[in-house]
Structure formats: C-alpha cells, structure tokens
Amino acid sequence: MTRHVPRSAARLQSTARSLCVLLCLWLAACASGGGGASADPPGARRGALQVEALLGDWHVAAHVPWFGDRGRVAARIHLAAEDSDPSRLVLTRSWRDGFSEPIEFDRNTLRRDGPGGRIWKVRAWRVLPARLRVLEAAEDGSWLLLDSAEREHAWILTRAQVLDDTAYLELERRIRGHGVNTDRLRRIAQVPEQEGRLGFEVAASPSPGR
C-alpha cells in the first residue's frame, strides 16, 4: 500500500533536500578555496604585520604618484614609532627634484586604522585624508608593497637603494597581483646612473644631457 504524503509536506522535504545539497556544495567550495587563499607565495607575508617590520629607512623604488610627487629622484621614507602613542608612526619623506637640487623633506603622522598593522590613516600635505594599505611584505623585511585604499596610488619600497631589473620586475609582478595598474607605475631614479633610463620617471629638474 502506497503511503500518501501531503503536497505541502512533499514540498518541504524537497526544499530541505535542496538546502542540504547547497550547504554541501558551499562547504566543499570553502574547503577547496580556503587552502589556496591561505597559501602565500615564497618570501611574502600577508597576515598580521608587526609594526617593527615597517620601521626604518626605505627607498621608493617605484610609484603611481600623487600629483605633487611627480618628478622626484632619490625619494626615501623613514618610519619611526611615536613614543607617546604606539598606534602612530612618524613618516618622514625626503627627495630631490633633480640630482643637482637640494634635498627636501616633509613629516607626517600615520595612525593605525584597525588591527593587524595593515591599514594606516594619513593626511597628505596635512590636508587631504587618505588610507594607506600594506599589500605585501617580504619575510626578510627587504621590501614592502603599498597602495591607497582606492588603488589610485601605489608604492614599491625597498631597503636596498638600487634594484636590478630582475628584482624590480618580480616586485612589479607581485603588486600587479594585488590589482595595481602597473601601466601607471614609474621607477624612481635613486642614483644618477639611473636617470633617463627607460621606465624611470623624468626628473623635475633633469641633469644636463638627460
């Protein structure tokens, strides 16, 4: 004898089976996708970042610049902890408009915006509010990849003053993987020998013959 199941109960059973199937598929997707997402490339660090890893001197190897940053050479950044507030860093930038020009500098304050040491608030020229993000950092502390929250600007920072082309292209590939438009990325000449080379930004005050 066939048992009669009310239509409403049949619909409920069908819905329950569909939800179970969807849940299983979702869990399988999470299991397969989670492993890949957590695997960082060799030499990279993307999780929580100790503030100490940011401190010290950095050379700006390349940037997608703010409008006021174009044409600079020998651009450097120094980050120091603010003694009175561990959630703040003192940002000192130095640069030249040309290798025969005097060194200029400015100073600003970065304020940590959330846990993990990855996002920092800053006021460009002490006026324009912005948020900087640490996209990726080398395990050995030799480089940092930064961008602004809207990806309009980006920076490749290195401890070494001069990068060879192979090392630079690897960092360019990495920052492209974070969504930065590397067509707009320009290398910054750190020594006079780099001035005028292909891919380097033209100095605001070029050296004679450059």
Q: Which two tokens stand for residue 171?
A: 């960092």
Q: How many Cβ atoms are within 10 Å of 12's Cβ, its own excluded?
A: 12
- Give the homologous superfamily in CATH for domain 49-194: Calycin beta-barrel core domain (2.40.128.20)
Tokens (6 digits) for 43 = 């030499």
Print pLDDT tens along the chain (210 aa). 444 545 544 444 554 444 343 333 333 333 333 333 333 444 455 566 888 999 999 999 999 987 778 999 999 999 999 887 878 999 999 999 999 999 999 999 999 887 777 889 887 656 677 889 999 999 999 999 999 877 789 999 999 999 999 999 999 999 999 999 999 999 999 999 999 999 999 999 999 877
Closest CA to 157 of 81, 59, 87, 12: 59
Nearest-angstrom CA–CA distance, 120 and 86: 13
CB 110 within 8 A of CB 85: no
Give how far Cα 149 sits from Cα of 77, 89, 179, 204, Å. 19, 18, 11, 27
Domain boundaries, the chain: 49-194
Contact 92, 198 (CB under 8 A): no
Checking DSSP bridges between strand 154-158 and strand 73-81, what pairing results, if any?
unpaired
DSSP 42: T
